[in-house]
Structure 1
Amino acid sequence: MEHFIVSARKYRPTTFADVVGQQAITNTLVNAIENNHLAQALLFTGPRGVGKTTCARILAKKINQDGTDVAEDEDFAFNIFELDAASNNSVDDIRNLIDQVRIPPQVGHYKVYIIDEVHMLSQAAFNAFLKTLEEPPKHAIFILATTEKHKIIPTILSRCQIFDFKRITVTDAKQYLANIAEKEGVNAEDDALHIIAQKADGAMRDALSIYDRVVSFSGNNLTRQAVTENLNVLDYDTYFEMTDHILNNNIPEALVQFNTILSKGFDGHHFIAGMASHFRDLLVCKNQETIQLLEVGDQTKQRYVKQSQEASKAFLIEGIELANSCDLKYKTSRNQRLLVELCLMQLASITFDGEKKNRNSFIIPASHFANRETPPKQTLGNSKVKIAEEQKTIIQQEEHPIASQASEVSERLQPTTKDTSTNTLVKEDVTTGNKVNSAPNIDLGVARKKTSALSMKGLKRKKEILEKKQEADAIGKDMPKEDFTEEQLHDVWKAYIDKIKTKGGKIMASILATDIPRVEGTNLYIQLPNVTMKTEVERHSYHLMTFLKKELQNYDIQLFIDVNEEAAKKYAFTPMEKYNKLREKNPLIDELRQTFDLDI
């Protein structure tokens, strides 16, 4: 078996013209040599595999060839000294290097010292190197190379001329790989080379290593399918097919394809991040001015343009948002597969034309009430059935909080009086001033309507209302009425605040936390700083009172809210108010501030 030389060594550039993707730096070095402006201490910094050491060797050879009658293949090996600072990072290693610097070269003009991974030198080695680096002999040139410039001490950086090497672009890497494939007689597809260049992530050495590996797998015919199979990467076909399923609202096929992707060993996080990138590329193709931002082969670019015409901008923007949100939540999710599947379901539902979902809508369809059966009339003797029915009503109202709160607020805005002649509740319409009969809390299917007291229908209506009120009073007597202490109330009050805070009701939680209720029998009294807070609590009072009654096992509890603007003074909001509050508790704080001249 013949000795094999990897492409990264076989095709290492020997001139500045061969260096890929670093034209600005190579042109600067060539001009510096021609104009005799070359510094004696250079620092090459940048990512791995972008040509730092290669440029250092070319520079060392170039400056010794200049003005001498030698063969072009002369490498001046005796004039170039390479030191690996990762394994030679002690003070003694630097001292040995300094001793060698004093000896002038026997052939050529300069001795070039290339110190690779210079950031690995110890602090003492850096200090020992400072003087020589600042004032080296005229025949010595130091080239320092590193991938982590921030680890080099500033005194070294200030003595060097710094060259920042950039990552190799996908286009440049693909073109260089195509040239090598042509020299090697390998028939390579454009998309296959593009995937290799993308996988290299800006490092030319990595791209050449991947190229050697894939050629060993597929031989002289380098196809996109062979590259994706060998590198175990998700190719474009996967994302094109998944996007077709999403655009066709085909959730089952999308989930099956995602299961196939997982069975091949791919990570769900990598897939959903690639999905967001795919949507971004489709959005880029929607405009001719931005299509140049798409870094893919010509054949793949045509497929992107075709699929971008099938998807709207609104769909792509929402798809990017959903996929990006899933990407951010992936690491913290306990069920990561379910998270991605839910994201795919949401994506496939964006363009659904049937009964569209509205995540922000709380409108209850008419069919919800049309199909409901009238509940059987409750008996007064079975308290367990009554409690179960009440809990069922509470759950139904919690499912539609906006509707229940709106009804509750509309009832609360109408002043309530009592009709002494019929012993029924009467509400006054604030807009017209008319009095309207009101039904009790338990609604048995009788519609609330304005009736005349002189008609037979009105008398029948009043009788029904009176019967329902008596029934409600009887049920209320059977509900639990256990005694509770003020400490128990405070614990339940705090538990409710924590509950709504976890569900996103931070504003209501902060309002309820402004005061602790005062207990007088079964009546609770709280004071709020303004009318706005009172209105918000009244809108939320149904859920609050349901929770308190259930936890304290007392259904006679009533809440009374008072507005006291002086109560706002008890709470400190600004830094000055907080400082004054602390100063009231401890006057020595003011003396401390004056002693140390502190600002607030």
Structure 2
Amino acid sequence: MSYLVLARKYRPRTFSQMVGQEHVVQALSNALDQQRLHHAYLFTGTRGVGKTTVSRILAKSLNCQGADGQGGITSAPCGVCQACTDIDSGRFVDYTELDAASNRGVDEVQSLLEQAVYKPVQGRFKVFMIDEVHMLTGHAFNAMLKTLEEPPEYLKFVLATTDPQKVPVTVLSRCLQFNLRPMAPETVQEHLAHVLAEEGVAADAQALRLLSRAARGSMRDALSLTDQAIAFGGGALQEANVRQMLGSVDRSHVFHLIEALAAGDGRSVVETSEALRLHGLSAAAALEEMSMVLQRMAVLQAVPQAAETGDEEAATIARLAASLPADETQLLYSICLHGRAELGLAPDEYAALTMVLLRLLAFKPSAEKKTLNEGPGAGVASPTQPAAAPAAVSGGVPASPRPTQAAVDEPRRSAVSAQPNPDVPP
């Protein structure tokens, strides 16, 4: 038997197996239990969060026959009846999936809608699932508007898209919309641990943490990366192997960089940047890791009670947070973010990384500047500012005020007006 990838092997078959989308599961389960069924559903969200999975579970819930063949609409499909097994294997006649990315024209949509006039063959409902619906042409959207608004009672539309902004509002207004959110790294890590326990694969907690962060909220991406990591590590997941596979920067390099920046050690900064280049590590990954560490430092500086317990790096981050003022931490974080965006503009990303790190060092407020801004001489006027008015002379005699220009010009105008004008007779 051929190997089945983890993303397909552990695809949820029921709503109870869905992970990280409780708000969608609860709404659909209650609607099914109460028989309050809409005629069109729109599932939005980034890739790998469960849009197609939810649509298949919904189709099974609408057509489930029960283990004894006497079942009805349910929020917990049995998974063993003919309808459930056929939908899982893609052989159910009354469930049609259309990939709008490759079938985006009006002809393909009209061909699909022609099937709407026929009643279901096997199940209670026909279900038309259109994936990446935002790829349809304008004419294709217009062709389906009438049927989408008033479909036959036995027909349900399920639309899925990663870019709902491109879907016409006339379509959006006809659908019940659900946004599937990116999953938290903790949720992804917990599910990966469950999957690997089922597979009997040993894994380090730190390795799972790296995979869950690299997935960026997508469970499918996390399972695909886990498949790759198992092959890379020879059947086991270890932090060093996963970090090498992902090209992630070891946090020890990041900690050393921040320590060097706090100490103003430019030589260590340049040497660490060169070490990253020699190891072939991503410059973008280095700045991303550094930004994450600085963010945790800033949170710890603002709210000391927010220290994470049970984290191996917590003590090191707390020490670094104590070594830098809060304003410098904020400045370094901002420069890292802007530097990350500039990497693509440079001919050599490692040279750009070095320049960003040196910028972090150059813009670091020095002790001399702080002394000038906060010391006793902070009130001395700069050469470009006017001097303050002179103080009173000791002895109680006030200093004579400096005459204004108007006072100087007044006697001159009086003297001129007193002279006789030869052109005017006396």
Q: Normalising to structure 1: TM-score of the pair?
A: 0.56
- Cα–Cα, structure 1 residues 325 and 102, in superposed 2: closer, same or farther, change >3 Å? same
Partner residue in 2 for 1:182: 197
Match of 1:42 in 2: 41
In 1: Cα distance, 2:159 partner to 2:94 partner: 16
1:183-202, aligned counterparts within 5 Å? 183-202=198-217
Aligned pairs for 1:419-438 within 5 A = none
Name the residue aligned to 1:18. Answer: 17
1:166 alignment partner, one of 158, 181, 192: 181
Given the alignment of the two structures, is residue 340 of structure 1 paired with residue 356 of structure 2, yes or no?
yes
> Does 1:155 pair with 2:170?
yes
1:69 matched to which residue of 2?
Answer: 70
Code of the aligned partner of 1:69: Q
Q: Is the 8 A contact 2:291 2:336 kept in 1?
A: no
Q: How does 1:323-472 map to 2 (within 5 A)?
A: 323-325=333-335, 327-328=337-338, 330=342, 336-346=352-362, 356-358=367-369, 361=372, 406=383
User: Do structure 1's residue 101 and structure 2's residue 116 form an aligned pair?
Assistant: yes
SS in 2 for 1:5: coil
Query: Match for residue 477 of structure 1?
Result: none
1:325-347, Cα deviation, whole Å (9 max, x unpaired): 35425457796345224235348
For 2:108 and 2:134, how far apart are their aligned partners in 1? 15
SS at match of 1:357: helix
SS at match of 2:325: helix
Specify whether residues 213 and 338 from structure 1 end up closer, same or farther in structure 2 by C-alpha distance, changes over 3 A only.
Answer: closer
Structure 1 SS opposite 2:248: coil
SS at match of 1:28: helix
Distance in 1 of aligned mates of 2:23 and 2:296: 29
> Structure 2 CA distance, aligned partners of 1:108 and 1:264?
58
The match for 1:282 is: 297
Distance in 2, matches of 1:408 and 1:131, equals 73
The CA distance in 2 between the partners of 1:198 and 1:64, in whole Å, is 37
Aligned 1:215-364 pairs, distance under 5 A: 215-286=230-301, 287=303, 289-291=305-307, 301-309=311-319, 311-312=321-322, 315-325=325-335, 327-328=337-338, 330=342, 336-346=352-362, 356-358=367-369, 361=372
Equivalent residues of 1:247, 1:311 under 8 A apart? no
Give the C-alpha shift of residue 96 in structure 1: 1.4
- Structure 1 stretch 4-13 or stretch 66-75: which is displaced more? 66-75
Query: Quick one: structure 1 residues 317 and 227, their matched pair in 2 at CA, closer, same or farther if it must change by over 3 Å?
Result: farther
Deviation at 1:59, TM superposition (A): 0.6
Q: 1:205 to 1:337 in 2, by over 3 A?
A: closer
Percent identity for Structure 1 against Structure 2 = 32
The CA deviation string for residues 473-496 of structure 1, in whole angstroms up to 9 with x for no partner, is: xxxxxxxxxxxxxxxxxxxxxxxx
**Partners of 2:175 and 2:307 in 1: how far apart?**
41
Aligned to 1:6: 5
- Superposed CA deviations along residues 2-34 of structure 1, whole A, max 9, x for unmatched, are 522111111111011111100110111111111
Distance of 1:173 and 1:149 partners within structure 2: 25
Go from structure 1 to structure 2 and tell me whether the alpha carbon gap of 1:175 and 1:273 turns closer, same or farther (over 3 Å shift). Answer: closer
2:281 alignment partner, SS class: coil
Letter in 2 for 1:182: A
Cα-Cα RMSD: 3.2
User: Partners in 2 of 1:312 and 1:127 — Cα distance?
Assistant: 61
Any unmatched runs of 5+ in structure 1?
293-297, 363-401, 414-429, 434-529, 532-561, 563-600
CA contact (8 A) 1:117 1:145 kept: yes
Deviation of 1:266 after TM superposition, in Å, equals 3.3
Partner of 2:417: none
**Pair 10,337 (structure 1): closer, same or farther in 2 beyond 3 Å:** closer
Q: Separation in 2 of the partners of 1:109 and 1:407?
A: 84
Partner SS, residue 187 of structure 1 = coil
Quick one: distance in 2 between partners of 1:341 and 1:302? 26
CA distance in 1, matches of 2:330, 2:110: 57
Structure 2: segments with no counterpart, 5+ residues: 72-77, 87-91, 374-379, 391-397, 410-426
Compare relative contact order (CA 8 Å, sep 6+) and give the higher one, 1 or 2: 2
For 1:39, give the aligned amino acid: H
Cα distance in 1 for partners of 2:20, 2:319 equals 34
Q: C-alpha distance in 2, partners of 1:333/1:315? A: 31
On the 8 A contact 2:307/2:314 being kept in 1, the answer is no
How many pairs does the alignment contain?
366
Q: Counterparts of 1:253 and 1:358 in 2: how far apart (Å)? A: 23
Residue 310 of structure 1 deviates from its aligned partner by 5.0
The 1:226/1:193 distance shift into structure 2, 3 A limit, reads same
Tell me, in whole angstroms, the C-alpha distance in 2 between the residues paired with 1:72 and 1:408.
82
Q: Deviations over 1:68-94 (max 9, x none)?
A: 537732324122111111111222211
**What secondary structure is seen at the aligned counterpart in 2 of 1:265?**
coil
1:206 maps to which residue? 221
1:584 matched to which residue of 2?
none
